[in-house]
Structure 1
Amino acid sequence: PNKPTAQVDRSERKPASENGPDEDTEPSKPVPVVAKWIWHDGKGSMKSELRKTFSLKTVPKTVMVLATCDNAFSMKVNGTAVAASRDWQIPVRFNIASQLIKGDNKIEVAGEMFGGSAGFICQLILLENGTQRVVTTDKSWEVRKPGGAWQAALEVHPYGNGPWGRVFDGKAVTSGAFGLASPPVRAALMQNDFLMRSLGRPHRDQVVTTRPSELTTLQAIDLANDEILTNYLTGGARRIMGQGKSSGELIDWLYLYALSRVPTAGERAVLTEVVGDGKTPIAIEDLLWIVFMQPEFQIVR
């Protein structure tokens, strides 16, 4: 998890004297969402390609993006993949300042709907020297069906209307960004649950100097079919699928992230057989479970 249950502020605070005049990290006041839900004409394809070019005289220190798509999308900025999502009810929020350049910049989005309503919405907030500039999805964007001709985007609904409501208001938000995820939260800041207790987390009023090294029956049951762990694996697999990685890239990324090393030839052969083409959620869940059950993971993490 990257959001603590405990009401604590994890942000770094600096004395006012240390803050320079151009230190912009967040909008000074809430910026209303004025973006529109956009798509192509909606006929003949469940996929849509969207793009927007905008110009910058200087590159701001912070360019925050808030976006979601019914049902899934991936985004590139100047040709670099920056974010992906497969759950429209959990918007993604991230900073793309490092991908921008002076002059023309291009945002490219590949959207997909799995049935029902379709739409993509995005709002960029550019912060520099106390000033704010907003770039939003509207009819100035270009869209097309895969392989089709580019045309002006169709404004499906203004924000707040349609089946999505005010999806950006009061909703859980994930970073969605590649390599920009928030650091994990310490277990002490999370509410204790059955999985944590079975793995040895003590109650707050206990001091534990040693823990048994042998797997107990309770631990074996929880690690095999516990609902809490299953939900973690399911959610993780869904987010990983949205990154569009190949099976080889997925295995390498997971090992580097979880174990700080690349897999051996033997491990790679087994994991490649498990994950297949990397397009099946169940296979990715199995891959995650295999890695998480390794004693090496328990030691490193």
Structure 2
Amino acid sequence: PGSAYFRKSFELPGKPKTADVIVSADNTFVLLVNHRNGMAGNNWKELKFRNLADRFKAGRNVVTVMATNSGEDASPAGLWLGIRFQFEDGSTKDVISDKTWKVNTEDIKGWNKPEYDDSKWATASELGGLDVAPWRLAKELKVNGSDLAFGGKFRESLQNKTALTTALGRPNREQVTTQRPSVATTLQALALTNGEVLSRIIKDGAAALANGEEKQERLAKRLFHLAIGRGPTEAEAGMLDGLAGGENAKESVEDILWAVAMLPEFQLIY
């Protein structure tokens, strides 16, 4: 496989209220913002969306993307990216993947840090718009793209169903659901413990989180707070410390995410 390493530096007039990021790469990617965890994906046919406003700041910002083509030939990877910033005064700013980005095909130590000097890197090549072959992302963007994004949120009713949302009982738009069972069905239990959709979400999340500077022990406790609104108990903290001690950072973070996702308390909330 061949990898390409992309960098983009730009200025923001202030701290953004929202920063809606839409990205796809052929085949996989890991994106960082100011060397902080961003997002990741492993299917070029699926546009990834996320509001990363908390990663950006007023002044200079740096977005880095490692894109890898997982084919048999050592060919470079393709990247498509768009970011729309919205500020408190209502103004907006867009950053897109174009020839102003810097690119390199060597994995140089520290390349994804903001202070790295990329002045000797080549500029990226623009291959075409959203309809360019073989990706043809225009249709995907129209269905699932930025016109559905408001403050980093997306209308779930306009997204395609997945095996996970179906198992969890996602209703049709015409239905009004006022309650849900407190006990998981067999289908829900299978989707939550061994389902392909949830496995992919956790794998992508682990890839993004493991590439930041945050220590695994601290990350584990922060995820616990974000997921269920409290810190871990003494027993849970011991379990998290054990999971965070693995040699492979990505696998360790993936184990932590699975541990949190399998808590009945988390599943009751979500």
TM-score by length of 2: 0.61
Which amino acid counterpart does residue 137 of structure 1 have in structure 2? S
Query: In structure 2, do the counterparts of structure 1 residues 266 and 90 end up closer, same or farther at CA, with 3 Å as the change threshold?
Result: same
Question: 1:279 deviation in Å?
Answer: 1.7
Deviation per CA, 1:11-57: give whole Å up to 9, x if none.
xxxxxxxxxxxxxxxxxxxxxxxxxxxxxxxxxx8443322333456
Cα distance change, pair 173–224 in 1 and its aligned pair in 2 (3 A): same
Equivalent residues, number:
231
CA shift in 2, pair 1:138/1:53, >3 Å: same
The separation in 2 between residues aligned to 1:125 and 1:207, in whole angstroms, is 36
Inter-partner Cα distance in structure 2 for 1:224 and 1:56: 45
Q: Structure 1 residue 230 and structure 2 residue 195: aligned? A: yes
Could you tell me how far apart the structure 2 residues matched to 1:273 and 1:162 are?
46
Deviation at 1:196, TM superposition (A): 4.3
Contact 1:51–1:106 (Cα < 8 Å) also in 2: no
Structure number having the greater helix percentage: 2
Q: Which residues in structure 2 correspond to 1:246-285 (within 5 Å)? A: 247-274=216-243, 276=246, 277-280=248-251, 284=254
Distance 1:48 1:250, change over 3 A: same
CA 171–146 in structure 1, closer or farther in 2 if over 3 Å, else same: farther
Give the structure 1 partner of residue 77 of structure 2: 118
Secondary structure of the residue that 1:268 maps to in structure 2? helix
Which of 47, 53, 73 pairs up with 1:90? 47
Partners of 1:233 and 1:289 within 8 A in 2: no
Q: Aligned pair in 2 of structure 1 residues 153, 279: CA closer, same or farther (>3 Å)?
A: same
Residue pair 1:56, 1:101 contacting (<8 A) in 2 also = yes
> How far 1:125 moved relative to its partner?
4.3
% identical aligned pairs: 20
The aligned amino acid for 2:196 is N
CA distance in 2, matches of 1:260, 1:280: 24
For the pair shown, which has the larger CA radius of gyration, 1 or 2?
1
Residues in 1 aligned to 2:201 and 2:85: alpha-carbon distance in whole angstroms = 30
* AA in 2 matched with 1:118: A
Q: Which amino acid aligns with 1:92?
A: F
Change (3 A) 1:252 1:205: closer
Q: Distance in 2 between matches of 1:241 and 1:152?
A: 30
Matched, 1:158 2:118: no
| Equivalent residues of 1:72, 1:112 under 8 A apart | yes
* Aligned AA (1:120): L
Cα distance between partner residues in 2 of 1:123 and 1:64: 8
Q: CA RMSD in A?
A: 4.6
Q: Secondary structure at the match of 1:237?
A: helix
CA distance in 2, matches of 1:62, 1:130: 10
Secondary structure class of the residue paired with 1:155: coil
Please tell me whether the aligned partners of residues 202 and 258 of structure 2 are also in contact (alpha carbons under 8 angstroms).
no
Query: Counterpart of 1:115 in structure 2: which amino acid?
Result: S
1:241 partnered with 2:201: no
Aligned to 1:99: 56
Shift in CA distance, 299/227, structure 1 to aligned 2, threshold 3 Å:
closer
Q: In 1, distance between residues paired with 2:21 and 2:177?
A: 43
1:132, 1:254 → 2: CA distance? 30
